[in-house]
Structure 1
Amino acid sequence: MYQTIPVRYLDAWLEQGYTGRLIDLRTPEEYNVSHLCEAENIPFLWLQDNRQTLTGERPLLFYCARGSESLLVCGWYDRMGYEVYNLGGGYRFYQGKYQCSLR
């Protein structure tokens, strides 16, 4: 079963030593405006058709704009045996110190 990390606790949770991958499921345009530092942009629509492409033994934290797509993706990867986490509420509510921008 995957765990949901409430957006208000994300900074503290990351600082406790999370060493997994951060995966932003939003569009490249949304990602370019702002995203979690060190996050990889793998859009939901692409991942939906390519679920087997994420490999490795590191945990996965998924997030999207509002939290619904990341919930779905967490279910997929949880059933495949991955250690997965969901950012509860989505990125739109995040205002912590790990925000980065490509602009």
Structure 2
Amino acid sequence: MNYYSLEKLINLYDGYRKLFKIDNHNLLLLQLDGQRYLIESRCPHRGHALSTADMEGDQIVCPLHGYRFDLRSGALQHFTEEPCRSLRRYDIVDRDNELGVVLDN
């Protein structure tokens, strides 16, 4: 398990979105209404990028097929084709005025 620094706290704001590629992990860091989320950056349904996805409340909506996932739990809330697994979430680590993540290599 290794710690990876992602962003300084001073750079975060509501509406913030940034992609990170760490080894085989593709991550998306978001801030919405003061809450920060770190999720996988591609929809588990068909692998479409979520970096331009719409946000509706605490849900992220995949722009390809309209699948909706709860940002707090990752749970699939709505699907338009076959159901898929939940969206992977990652625990954010707050360390020395920055955010990071601990990942398996």
- Greater fraction of residues in strand: 2
- Greater fraction of residues in helix: 1
- Larger relative contact order (Cα-Cα within 8 Å, sequence gap ≥ 6): 1
Find the structure with the greater CA-based Rg: 2
The alignment's TM-score, normalised by the length of structure 2, stands at 0.29
